[in-house]
Amino acid sequence: MNTARTRDHALAALHGLAIGDALGMPTQLLSRSDIANRFGVIEGFEDGPADHPIAPGLRAGTITDDTEQALLVARLLLEGDGHIDPDRFATELTLWEKEMAAKGSADLLGPSTKSAISAIAEGKSPQETGRTGTTNGAAMRIAPVGVATPHEPLDLLLDRVVEAGLVTHNTGLGIASAAAVAAAVSAGIAGATPQEALDAGQHAAKVGATRGHWIAGGDMAARIGWARTHVIGRGEAEVLDFTYDVVGTSVASQESVVAVFALAQHCVDDPWKAVRLAAALGGDTDTVAAILGAILGACHGTAAFPAEAAATVRDVNGIDFESLTDELLALRAR
């Protein structure tokens, strides 16, 4: 692979993650109609509304827990030479939440992660605390694993995905959802077309579902395939209605991660439009837009998003995307 191209697409995956996340910051947890009434069409970053339940008054361009935890995963990958120790991950997640709470933030751990960390505090092993985790927490923070790990051989990538989610999402559903995202990001960086990257994500979900503890729920790969097929050839309004009303945009991985693939299929050649539509969709908008931005950014490179959008999230949040990209790609090269 051309080194310059690889770096450009890896950088775009991290840019896209943060850009989508920041676009969804002021709209997260709001209904689709409420977002339309408050903001109209989402054209760019907005301040968090004063009455927002999680992000009141936050500056436009501010990231949320999605990117914050992805950066934590990236740091632990680098410290562990490509591996994430579950005990260390549990400790770092606990410290992260305490730091956020001390700052007055209400954007803390999601339900599966919160339950796992509480179980660890009660003395349970990190090897067992993720037995019921099925929400989108593992998927939302997995993009750095996709940057740092080739998608072929798939077993290697799945091993890294399992390590990154073991503490909180050690279920077939949790692993499948994170594997879908990691594989799509990794394939895009490796030179896959957007459709090939989505195919790689769908396949990884199928294989990833065989890992971890079984728990009842719709099959991730089957739902991704159904949603992708359904949106082909349909108009934007119909796609958005289908995604919001039928697929769903809650924190459940079977909804929000499937919604990502539906919107990615619909907007496969327009990442900037995709993340703005996701931010206006309602529900877990920051997570849907963040994952979508990471996948399509990996497929299209830094030209996928306006340069000023990438500069905004870098400057508002103080993130050195370039250095982080280089360090993660050094792991990938091994």
Q: Which residues are annotated as a binding site for Mg(2+)?
A: 64-66, 284, 286-287
Query: Is 60 exceeded by the pLDDT of residue 17?
Result: yes
- The distance from CA 242 to its chain's CA centroid, rounded to whole angstroms, is 21
| Angle CA 192–197–202, to nearest 5 | 150
Mean of pLDDT values over 17-42? 97
Question: Greater confidence, 125 or 256?
Answer: 256
pLDDT at 101: 67
232, 225, 174, 227: which is closest to 203 by C-alpha? 225
State the angle between helix axes of 172-190 and 154-165 in degrees (0 to 180), rounded to the nearest 10. Answer: 130
Residue pLDDT, tens place only, 175-222: 999 999 999 999 999 999 999 999 999 999 999 999 999 999 999 999
Question: Greater confidence, 110 or 293?
Answer: 293
Fold assignment, 3-333: ADP-ribosylglycohydrolase fold (1.10.4080)
Mean of pLDDT values over 253-273? 98
pLDDT at 76: 96
pLDDT at 99: 77
pLDDT at 115: 81
Distance CA 115, CA 127 (A): 14
Assign 105 a pLDDT band (cuts: 50, 70, 90): low
> How much is the mean pLDDT over the chain?
93
Residue pLDDT, tens place only, 53-97: 888 999 999 999 999 999 999 999 999 999 999 888 888 888 877
Q: φ and ψ at 125, to 5 degrees?
A: -75, 140
Mean of pLDDT values over 168-179? 95
Share of the chain above pLDDT 70, in %: 96
Residue pLDDT, tens place only, 133-157: 899 999 999 999 999 999 999 999 9
pLDDT at 103: 59
Residue pLDDT, tens place only, 299-308: 999 999 999 9
pLDDT at 96: 78
Share of the chain above pLDDT 90, in %: 82
- Which residues sit opposite 252 in a β-bridge? 135
- Which residues sit opposite 213 in a β-bridge? 171
Residue pLDDT, tens place only, 285-323: 999 999 999 999 999 999 999 999 999 999 999 999 999
